[in-house]
Copies of this chain bind each other. A is one copy, B any other.
């Protein structure tokens, strides 16, 4: 691993474990086996590290969602697949996901705005799936799609709080359960 990779990796683990504000730059560079000079050579600030982690998760999830949503199966199946996929990939990259889920408001103002628009795009792509099902009459329409999406992603974000990879539930188990609940709640 190169030095910048080691720094990102160390920062991810530490941010996931203690939260952004509880991690000193010194800890990160210690774990990466370099000094602060090296870190500030590759990254402009501590915020930059967070920004990097945050962005990479968001990009990955967005890509996958768009691919799944653009598939050609019935909308119920596509929504189920998308709902399940976000769980599985979040658990597979659990440290990164934890940082992403819990650190949105630690980003500096300028970077936060940039990220927000990309996050909105993700949200709206998901919402479009729900609305498609509503228009087709296979999903209930008395709950606004927007609310439903917030509802579901609340559940997803909360994974970081309760799920443990050492427990009895595999990532696929949770993904299936969560997707079942979502799709179930949308039955007319």
Contacts and interface: CB of A to CB of B under 8 A. Distances in A.
Interface string A152-184: 111111110111000001000010011011101
A148 interface: yes
Contacts of A109: none
Contact of A187 (B143, B153, B159, B187): B187
A40 interface: no
Given A21-B22, A157-B154, A143 B185 contact: no
Interface residues of A, number: 36
Contact of A21 (B21, B161, B163, B187): B21
Contacts of A137: none
Interface string A90-133: 00000000000000111000000000000000000000000000
B21 A177 contact: no
A144 interface: yes
A184 B140 contact: yes
A147 B177 contact: yes
Given A19-B21, A151-B178, A177-B143, A158 B157 contact: yes
Contacts of A155: 150-152, 154-155, 158
Contact of A169 (B147, B159, B185): B147
A4 B174 CA distance: 44
B187 A144 contact: no
A62 to B, nearest CB: 18
6 smallest CB-CB distances across A and B, nearest first, come from A154-B158, A185-B185, A154-B155, A21-B21, A184-B185, A181-B185
